[in-house]
């Protein structure tokens, strides 16, 4: 099965309103899933990784 990919707009729809420089910083710090480069100008994130990340953040609140 092919993974579902999320665009920047999809991230915003999930409530992730971070700027591109912030996302890059988080990715380098390994505190956010790494992007997938689809072309020189197109990027995406795996939906399963982003949702797992959000779930982990929610669990840390407890």
**Any residues with CB less than 8 A from the CB of 46 and at least 6 apart, and which?**
3, 4, 5, 6, 33, 36
Phi/psi at 46 (nearest 5 deg)? -70, 130
H or E element, residue 13 = helix 8-13
**What's the mean per-residue pLDDT of the chain?**
95
Contacts from 19-24 at CB under 8 Å and sequence distance 24+?
Answer: none
With a cut of 80, say whether residue 62 has pLDDT above it. Answer: no
Contacts from 31-36 at CB under 8 Å and sequence distance 24+?
Answer: 36/5
Q: Using 50, 70 and 90 to split pLDDT, how confident is the model at 2? A: confident
- 41 is written with which tokens? 């100008």
């Amino acid at each position: 099965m092919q993974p579902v990919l999320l665009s920047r707009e999809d991230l915003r729809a999930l409530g992730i309103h971070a700027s591109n420089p912030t996302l890059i910083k988080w990715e380098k710090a390994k505190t956010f899933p790494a992007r997938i480069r689809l072309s020189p100008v197109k990027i995406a994130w795996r939906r399963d990784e982003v949702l797992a990340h959000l779930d982990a953040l929610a669990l840390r609140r407890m």
